[in-house]
Amino acid sequence: MQSRPSSSRTSLLALLALTALTLLARLLGAGSGLPHLAEPDNAFLLQPKLIADGGAAAHRHADYTKYPHLVSRILMALPAPKASGPALDDHLERASSESLRPRLLIAIAGVACVPTLFLLAREFLSAGWSLFAAALLATSLLHGLFSAQGRPHVLVTLFITLTLWACVRLVRRGSWSDYAVAGIFAALSVGSLHNGIAALLPLAAAHAIRSRGQGIRGQLKLALPALLVAASAIAFLPFLFESAKVAPIGVQEEQSIFRLGCHAFHLDKIHGRGFGVIGWTLWSYEPALLGLLALALPFLLMGAARLRGLAPELRASVIVVASFVLPYLIVVGLYDASYERFVIPMLPCLALIAAWGLSSLLHGIPSGSSRIAASSLLALGVLAFPVWSSIKLVRLLSSPDTATLAARWLSANADPRAETILMTPRLDLPLVHDPSVPLPFTAEELRVGAWIYPWTYYQLGLGPQSGLAPAWRMGWLPTLDPGFAEKLRQDENKALLDLDWTLIAEGSFADSSELPGNQQRIKAALGAIANRVASFVPYEEQGNPRALWWQESSGIERPFWQRLLAASSFGPAIQVYRRR
């Protein structure tokens, strides 16, 4: 790496344009699937209400402890959404706002990651290569997909990156204000998501380097960020300090589990399978970035061997960044139950390393117009595929999802007064549910799983006299009923024929060949007793319908970028059958 050169006005204008384009892309995708197709673990649909409730029952709800409360506290401070008008479209908009507000907050945080990475990269790279690193993040499929969701993984990525930038400045200057800024960003990281605790690592590293040889007076400066982080924990992780019966915390040796509220870290699942998840995630979402990282690896190894030869200031900055990346990479890699979203906080640093590797490759070209031309052409060539795939992602997220398309088809081709529609579990069509048709779950069960049926949950709150029309005789296949499940195993055709239905909307959220056993039996029975009259499928694989939605399921057979480019829509794979 090189010492920091000055920024150019052209690079800053380019960064402004890149940030503006990223903002447009993130906002276009923020409303995808609302109000009926919420992302998994959408805790911010209920968490603000649970915090406001304040009762013991509310505190025992899983969503109260699912995420720290920073996002919910921000949402609670915003003006309440406007009351709905009487029309169905008004209620759809009002129901969407419950999930759209946290999504917009996360989307803005995702946009802010782009200039933040540029600031961090400028501590190591030229303005042009810093812009390239920011462009890699702006066109990241993984970052883009989770920026459209009401989950805080992108938010914590922003604050961790800001913490790294602040810690690099702390190492170089070490004033009280530097400690305050680093402490604020570290505290916000902790308040955003549980893995935000990793932001304390660069803070500790920066302090250890800066305070060396300064005696007790130099050590006292650490008290300021420590107090800020403690205040954040008290404010945004109150369940850490509540009764163990409300939010169990600690090691349960008989189960080899460390619990943090509703989250469990399995101590017997540390066998290194997470490294495979990291590798697959990069290949599935970020093939260009993965290639650049492979290219940067030899330069990285040579740079590590020459670390002592770097200027002290630059060496300290490298150590600060490495103090986050390496431990975080090792922990996620060792843990068998890691998910693709665990990679998101590393993306800015990986983009920085990728940009540095590519710049190192071109370092042998004499400086001047030849190097600028070669660098520009190579950077644009590398970015071509991420830009193309990102545009496809935005187009799908901003277009009607499969559940909306299915609802439109039913509105045009079915009679809500004379026909009964059954849906497979987890499918929530944006149609009005007839309150006279009983739901297969209680109000409390629906509240617990509000993110699974967000539109139905909203309608339940309106009461039976909502007056919304047309009201559809809709329900769900009782696959969770042990008696029905047994009937399916004995005679799947008869099990379905015994139910009252005219149409069945069979929806699969799987993006692989793995389906629950009951759903496989239902599909087989429908092929024998009903006619498929409509299909709303993102893409097909060897003639089998496949979903494309918020996260990958188990048994993935193709990387996300391949499935994205093959898809024509976003959402579950829905097929509508009419009884013969």
Give the DSSP H/E element, type plus range, for residue 465.
none
| pLDDT value of position 250 | 47
Q: Is the per-residue pLDDT at 76 higher than 50?
A: yes
24 and 139 co-located in one domain: yes
Using CA atoms, how far residue 497 sits from 2, 164, 522, 525, in Å, is 72, 61, 11, 9
Of the residues 366, 391, 416, the one at which a domain ends: 391
- Report which of residues 468 and 186 the model is more confident about: 186
228 and 327 co-located in one domain: yes
| Residue where the block lists tokens 């188990």 | 554
- Displacement of CA 259 from its chain's centroid (Å): 22
Under the banding of pLDDT at 50, 70 and 90, the label for residue 444 is confident
pLDDT tens per residue across span 214-240:
878 778 999 999 999 999 999 999 988
pLDDT tens per residue across span 352-381:
999 999 998 887 676 767 777 888 899 999
Please state the domain count of the chain.
2
Mean pLDDT within 69-75? 97
| pLDDT value of position 553 | 67
How much is the CA Rg of the chain, to the nearest whole Å?
Answer: 26
Mean pLDDT within 337-345? 95
pLDDT tens per residue across span 269-328:
899 999 999 999 999 999 999 999 999 999 888 888 888 888 888 899 999 999 999 999
420 and 371 co-located in one domain: no
Is cis: bond before 470, omega within 30 of 0? Answer: yes
pLDDT tens per residue across span 480-539:
778 888 888 889 899 899 888 899 998 888 765 655 667 788 888 898 999 999 999 999
503 and 366 co-located in one domain: no
Give domain status of residue 172, yes or no. yes
Q: Is the per-residue pLDDT at 253 higher than 50?
A: no
Q: Report how far residue 106's alpha carbon sits from residue 157's, in angstroms, rounded to the nearest whole number.
A: 10
- What is the side-by-side order of every strand in the sheet holding 471-476? 432-433, 471-476, 420-423, 503-508, 573-579, 530-536
| Residue where the block lists tokens 């497979």 | 424
Strand partners, 556: 512
336 and 415 co-located in one domain: no
Give the DSSP H/E element, type plus range, for residue 272.
none
Give domain status of residue 45, yes or no. no
330 and 423 co-located in one domain: no
339 and 427 co-located in one domain: no
| pLDDT value of position 520 | 80
The model carries a pTM of 0.93
Identify whether the C-beta of residue 424 lies closer than 8 Å to the C-beta of residue 476: yes
Give domain status of residue 436, yes or no. yes
Closest to 390 in 3D by CA, of 164, 560, 163, 216: 560
Amino acid at residue number 45: L
pLDDT tens per residue across span 537-566:
999 988 888 999 888 766 677 899 999 999
| pLDDT value of position 2 | 52
Of the residues 336, 356, 391, the one at which a domain ends: 391
Mean pLDDT within 384-403? 97
352 and 483 co-located in one domain: no
Q: Report how far residue 327's alpha carbon sits from residue 527's, in angstroms, rounded to the nearest whole number.
A: 52
Strand partners, 472: 433
447 and 314 co-located in one domain: no
Give domain status of residue 49, yes or no. no
**Residue 75, both tokens:** 């949402």
| Residue where the block lists tokens 């099990």 | 495
| pLDDT value of position 247 | 46
pLDDT tens per residue across span 448-457:
777 888 999 8
422 and 473 co-located in one domain: yes
Give domain status of residue 73, yes or no. no
Give domain status of residue 365, yes or no. yes
13 and 104 co-located in one domain: yes
Mean pLDDT within 115-133? 95
The size of the chain, in residues, is 580
pLDDT tens per residue across span 4-15:
555 578 888 999
Q: Report how far residue 64's alpha carbon sits from residue 61's, in angstroms, rounded to the nearest whole number.
A: 6
Q: Report the sign of the C-alpha dihedral through residues 406, 411, 412, 418, in that order.
A: positive
Mean pLDDT within 414-427? 91
Please enumerate in sequence order all residues whose Cβ is within 8 A of that of 31, keeping only pairs 6 or more positions apart, or say none. Answer: 96, 100, 103, 398
Please enumerate in sequence order all residues whose Cβ is within 8 A of that of 403, keeping only pairs 6 or more positions apart, or say none. Answer: 33, 36, 37, 427, 428, 429, 430, 507, 536, 571, 572, 574
Q: Average per-residue pLDDT in the chain?
A: 89
| pLDDT value of position 521 | 84
Of the residues 347, 368, 391, the one at which a domain ends: 391
Identify whether the C-beta of residue 150 lies closer than 8 Å to the C-beta of residue 42: yes
Per the structure, the complete domain to which residue 353 belongs is given by 9-37+91-391
Mean pLDDT within 402-426? 93
Under the banding of pLDDT at 50, 70 and 90, the label for residue 252 is very low
Give domain status of residue 54, yes or no. no
Give domain status of residue 191, yes or no. yes
319 and 429 co-located in one domain: no
Percent of the chain residues past pLDDT 90, beyond the cut = 58
Identify whether the C-beta of residue 68 lies closer than 8 Å to the C-beta of residue 236: yes
| pLDDT value of position 555 | 64
